[in-house]
Amino acid sequence: MDRRACGADEKAAGAAMAKMGIYDYAFLVTETADSPKHVAGLQIFEPPRNYRGDYVSDLIEALRARPPGGLFKLKLKPGLPGSAEWVEDEAFDLDYHLRHARLPRPGNNTQLMDLVGRLHSILLDRQRPLWELHVIEGLEGGRFALYAKIHHSYCDGITLVRLMMGTLNTSPDDTTLYASWESRHEAPLREQPRSVSERLQQGAGLVRRGFTSAFQLSGLAARFALQSVGVGHSKFPIPFTAPRTKLNATVTRARRAAVGELSLSELKALAHATETTLNDVIVTLCDIALTRYLQDHKDAPAAPLVAQIPVSLRREGEHQLGNQIAILPVTLGHAGRDPLKRLGEIHESSSRLKAEASGMSADSVSMYTLAIQGAAQAAELLGLNEAVPPLGNILISNVPGPREPLYLWRSLLIASYPLSAIPPGLAMNITVFSYQDKFDVGVIGGYDAIPDIECLPEYMADGFRALQSAVARRDSRRRSGAGARKTPAGKAARKKKSTSTAKGRKAPVKKKPVKKPSGKRAKPIAESDGG
């Protein structure tokens, strides 16, 4: 990994006083004890063999020696209503942010998830920089973990990944140690214009973009209105029309966590075989898993579920901190369809959405997200979740990661599980992260709302195998399709008592009448085994 991609100058951040964007600020003002707004990552490491000494203790001491800087020394300074600033914490205490925990024996996955769920439930202290790093030892096999938590007002999930991956090396022999709190970025925070001319130019640009966004959003709203009365059609699903399910239960502060893995190469093969995208396949596996989960709880809706899909608005090569994402709704598949048909429906829905969004500016898409998510957040804050129809049923995020193996102080990174925030009106979030030849799946849910959360990654794996089987059956039917179509055609010809003889076919023997068929008919080739 090219560490220079993470930036080159932290001086601006260290001394900065900068205002935050409206999207970043929204994560602060809408945060409650029951709705924390932080994102996190759980990394599992295998320490170097034959290490002399206590590796984890030595690692922690080495991390303590790394100087903090950049955004990691900035804390919140509330401003006028509707605004806030980041200022340097002159009393910064690294020992507060760097934590050490040990799992009791045997250190299994259940124990790790219990600890991570508890850590993910706790709000970050707003009197300090809004981040923590927990070093967790005692995992089975001598492994250890890093759980990093940072407030969503600092950055989105993609930036968090870049922060965490920027501390790692590509060589197992590289003993250089980097800490996340010294990661450097070319543009740590949104810089404010200094001169009068710069402010005027910025203001004029904002006005132009505002008019454009208002025009595009008014057109979208008009299409929503017409569609609601059966006239016209918008490629965006109408907001707040998702079916209400157990996935929309009200959550309290406690959280549960679950993790799993999927093969990246096999998922790519499925996408290629079905002429869809990798993201379509991932969303389909989530849909299959969620439908099965709801069926287990006798709560499967008649209408398709609606997923909220985060989309990055960053331009290629842009590394600015803060949130630059939109959240768009995607209608999922019908519960009664086989996996292949379900994938086709999701691909079609996603393609329509992309076509609609491509005709809108990034500002318009961002404002759409703010308006819709703001309405959902307001309903949650006012205790109206049960009275207002759900905006969606699940948030599904796909974050790309590195393909090569990475190392921290000669320790091999085994897995990197993303663990995000639960959006308003929902009870669960599913995020996947690609690393080497696999997808690491992270699931966060409300403790009481989703008590059996550990089954979701398992159901996704089962859905993957079901989709593989469906593709294999389809390919088998295609290979034998020519012969399969002749059988019913021949029977139909005999029923009509046709005297014509097909080329190459034996003429019937003029003896006794042909016996009636047994009644067993081959399935037409278009039929699916799954219904």
The interaxial angle of helices 196-228 and 362-381, nearest 10 deg, is 70
Q: What is the amino acid identity at position 516? A: K
Which residues, in sequence order, are CB contacts of 140 under 8 Å at separation 6+? 106, 107, 108
Decide: helix, strand or coil at residue 256.
strand
Both tokens of residue 67?
Answer: 């100087």
Contact 108, 74 (CB under 8 A): no
Which residues, in sequence order, are CB contacts of 371 under 8 Å at separation 6+? 217
Asked if the peptide bond before residue 400 counts as cis, ω within 30 degrees of 0, the response is: no
Decide: helix, strand or coil at residue 321.
coil
Contact 154, 321 (CB under 8 A): yes
**Phi–psi pair at 325, nearest 5 degrees:** -135, 160
Give the 3-state secondary structure of 40-57: EEEEEEECCCCCCCCHHH
To which H or E segment does residue 157 belong? Answer: helix 157-165
Give the 3-state secondary structure of 389-429: CCCCCEEEEEECCCCCCCEECCEEEEEEEEECCCCCCCCEE
Both tokens of residue 373?
Answer: 């998510």
Q: Which of 38, 151, 152, 185 is catalytic?
A: 152
The question of whether 38 is a catalytic residue gets the answer: no
Choose among 388, 392, 369, 372: nearest CA to 380: 388
> What does the alpha-carbon distance between residue 1 and residue 106 come to, in Å, rounded to a whole number?
34
Q: CB neighbours (10 Å) of residue 223?
A: 18
Contact 281, 142 (CB under 8 A): no
Both tokens of residue 225?
Answer: 């209105």
Q: What amino acid positions are annotated as catalytic residues?
A: 152
